[in-house]
Amino acid sequence: MVIIRHGGTITETRQPFDSDVTYGAKIVSQNLSDHIFSFDGADVRDVLHGQTTRNFKALDLHHPIDGAFCDLKGRVITDFTAVLTSETTVLMRVSKGVAALLQEHLAKYLMFSKTKMTTLDWHCWGCSDSSESATSGIRVPRPDGHSEVWSSPSNPPAHAMPANKWLLFRIKRGLARIHEHSVGKYLPQDLNYDLNGFVDFDKGCYTGQEIIARLHYRGQPKRRLSLLTVRSSTQPASDERIIDSATGKSIGSVVEVVENEDAFLCLCEVVTDVATLDIELGGNSAKTTPFTGQSAE
């Protein structure tokens, strides 16, 4: 039995998730800076279908998906992970720093729908593989045996590892997230969201769809997500510019950064030929690094 809280009410369900999403957790990280929303209503599929890059009308029960909300210019407001837990309920994880902005963005659309958006008193953790089980929660599989766990703070997973380790795992694999400093700055293609399954190009209209689809079908992205390594005495700042050493011009910016041993790993949106250039970050020489699972060219 699993207890799922929706706002101030408690709903009990005895139906387990299928193999795509399971209840319970394995080894997990400390609480991550994330936020869980519950969307509840008879038209929840239609509402989210029209506001996101994913096909909620065709979404299977208990199957997790990653996607994005975009503005009218096709720029990403926030990424998300969502799970349809019943035909009238979707649980969704976003970064805590963009939660209030997302609520404001959706208010004008929800006003004329039957769907309500509420906050769950749940936390998020990152997980690595183990034979140990836990009790209630939602487990979303991630690469290499990792997973996310969403559950009540009163029932946290048993084991913790630093949140910085989870950030390092994400950044090495090119799994970019949107935070308050990056809202509305990037197209999905800038963050490789189209390559990582965040966009359903055959789903029809949604906010920002025209610009995103035009770039996909008729153009070529000028910038992509790359992983850069830089050795510096100070951590590079989010939004810091990547500089072409030969021209002194900006060719991209830092999206997320994490310390890794004696260097910093930076997820950056940069020009597509960055690997052929001599580049600098914060006045220090930087180099491109293959994502985990990719081979160096």
In which residue are the tokens 């994913």 written? Answer: 54
Q: Look at residue 210 in the predicted model and tell me its pLDDT.
A: 96
Q: Look at residue 33 in the predicted model and tell me its pLDDT.
A: 84
Q: Look at residue 136 in the predicted model and tell me its pLDDT.
A: 61
- Nearest Cα to 21, choosing from 151, 113, 110, 190? 151
- Is the model's pLDDT at 64 over the cut of 90? yes
Average of per-residue pLDDT across 57-76: 97
Rounded CA separation 55/48 (Å): 8
Under the banding of pLDDT at 50, 70 and 90, the label for residue 148 is: confident
Domains of the chain: 2-161 (3.30.70.1400), 181-289 (2.40.30.160)
Q: What is the pLDDT of residues 243-266, one digit of tens each?
A: 999 999 999 999 999 999 999 999
- Nearest Cα to 26, choosing from 149, 142, 123? 149
Q: Look at residue 222 in the predicted model and tell me its pLDDT.
A: 95
CB atoms within 10 A of CB 137: 25
Q: Sign of dihedral through CA atoms 228, 232, 235, 239? A: negative
pTM of the model: 0.87
- Nearest Cα to 3, choosing from 137, 121, 97, 146? 137
**Which residues does residue 281 pair with via DSSP β-bridges, in sequence order?**
242, 284
Average of per-residue pLDDT across 43-62: 97
Q: Which of 24-33, 106-115, 166-175, 260-269 has the lowest mean pLDDT?
A: 24-33
- Is the model's pLDDT at 291 over the cut of 50? yes
